[in-house]
Amino acid sequence: MAFGESDRSFMRQALDLAEKGRGLVEPNPMVGAVVVRDGRAFAEGHYERFGGPHAEVVALRRAGEAARGATMYVTLEPCDHRGKTPPCAPLVAEAGLRRVLVATPDPTAAQPRGGIEILTRRGVEVQVGLCRDEAVRLNAAFFKLAATGRPLVIAKWAMTADGKIAARSGSSRWISSDQARQTVHQLRGRVDCVIVGSRTARLDDPLLTCRDAERRRTATRLILCGRAVPEADSQLVETAGQAPVLLACPESRPPAGLGRLVELGCEALPVAAAEAAAGRCDLAALLDELGRRRMTNVLVEGGADTLGGFFDAGLVDRVMVFVAPLIVGGADAKTAVAGAGVEDIEKAFRLRDCETLAMGPDVLIQGWVTDPLGWAP
């Protein structure tokens, strides 16, 4: 189906609007809508918060009677089912629009393309697929959760130019610059869960909270506990009343000290044990449980064994690496990703849609390990 350049421009405007909802609308998708007449956008809206009015409704309220005979550009199929609010598709149909352009169908529709069918039956001309790839990447976490029942997994670490995440003594504060650390705090403020291993929790005593004024979500802090748990006087445990702490442990062999931490406000999360690693959680089973809890984005921050475990299991979707202009050296200094690793370079994880961004003196390298387009209907 052919679309004109003006069509693409209006849909990109709708995508920019949708992005404003990141971290505020999950587990629902980010959506933007633009209403156009005679080549001019005169009303717009986006989904601003979970449970609030949908983008199409906001845009149509602003358009009023002028919506009759106009065209709407919307980044996701208007919904055909009731959730926190009534279904949008009937309201869009009743507005008298002549034409609706939809970037991509809704994988959670009550009926496949049910919203599109409602519009078509009411005589609205509907075109689907404009800027589809951009729309799917925007809502990759939503599409993955709908397709697989698991959240999107982002692996993040900071390292030196020679690939070290700490000096041989274990010293790592601070490899990355203030600008890079601020970006990480913003990221934590937009995800549902931050994951680290128990060794990292005990050695670094991190908070794993978002220290950013524009925090949009309070991420759950999840510690992978094999045979050890965080200390009772750690920052994580002492702040469990301010931000949730999950202690994921093998259900067949919970670690010593777990009960005491539950008494102090943490939550135990029994998970099936990994078949090949006694005393460790099955990471795929863990993601299944987080998906059941409607988590959409999880951030894996380390350490090296935890990152390696997620890569070895093929569970990483996206990578964010902050590279600092430092040289540490040392054969005993840790690299970022441990685990078994790949046997040869041909089997290495190759990032797609890779981009590099300057973060003060550091460089952020980010890209996809998986193809998010594979989750779209």
Instruction: Tell me the per-residue pLDDT of 100-119, one tens digit each, with 9 for 90 and over.
Output: 999 999 999 989 999 999 99
Classify the phi-psi angles of 49: left when phi > 0, otherwise alpha if psi is within -120 to 50, otherwise beta. Answer: beta
Residue 55 and residue 49 in contact, taking contact as beta carbons nearer than 8 Å: no
Residue 99 and residue 71 in contact, taking contact as beta carbons nearer than 8 Å: yes
Active site residue 134: no
99 band by pLDDT with thresholds 50, 70 and 90: very high
Q: Tell me the backbone φ, ψ of residue 320, rounded to 5 degrees.
A: -130, 115
Looking at the chain, the whole-number percentage of residues with pLDDT higher than 90 is 84
* Selected catalytic residue, list 5, 26, 44, 56: 56
Classify the phi-psi angles of 220: left when phi > 0, otherwise alpha if psi is within -120 to 50, otherwise beta. Answer: beta
* DSSP for residue 375: G
SS3 content of the chain, % helix, strand, coil (to 5): 30, 25, 45
Buried b (16+ CB within 10 A) or exposed e, 337-353: bbeeeeeeeeeeeeeee
CA-nearest of 134, 137, 136, 163 to 318 is: 137
Which tens digits make up the pLDDT trace of 318-335?
999 999 999 999 998 889
Which tens digits make up the pLDDT trace of 277-299?
667 899 999 999 999 999 999 99
Distance CA 219, CA 235 (A): 15
DSSP-derived pairing of the beta strands 267-271 and 245-250:
parallel
pLDDT of residue 1: 60
What's the whole-number average pLDDT of the chain?
Answer: 93
Which tens digits make up the pLDDT trace of 36-74?
999 999 999 999 999 999 999 999 999 999 999 999 999
DSSP-derived pairing of the beta strands 362-368 and 318-324:
antiparallel
pLDDT of residue 126: 96
Which tens digits make up the pLDDT trace of 196-230?
999 999 988 999 999 877 788 899 999 999 888 99
Distance CA 219, CA 232 (A): 20
Q: How many CB atoms lie within 10 A of CB 121?
A: 10
What is the DSSP annotation of 240-275? Answer: TTTS-EEEEEETTSPPTTHHHHHHTT-EEEEEPBPS
Distance CA 39, CA 109 (A): 31
Indicate if the pLDDT at residue 276 is higher than 70: no
Q: What's the average model confidence in pLDDT over 135-142?
A: 98
Distance CA 176, CA 42 (A): 44
Element (H, E) at 221: strand 220-224
DSSP-derived pairing of the beta strands 152-160 and 193-197:
unpaired
* DSSP for residue 52: S
Residue with tokens 């609706």: 100
267, two tokens: 């939550």
Looking at the chain, the whole-number percentage of residues with pLDDT higher than 70 is 99
Q: What's the average model confidence in pLDDT over 336-360?
A: 93
pLDDT of residue 277: 66
Residue 127 and residue 1 in contact, taking contact as beta carbons nearer than 8 Å: yes
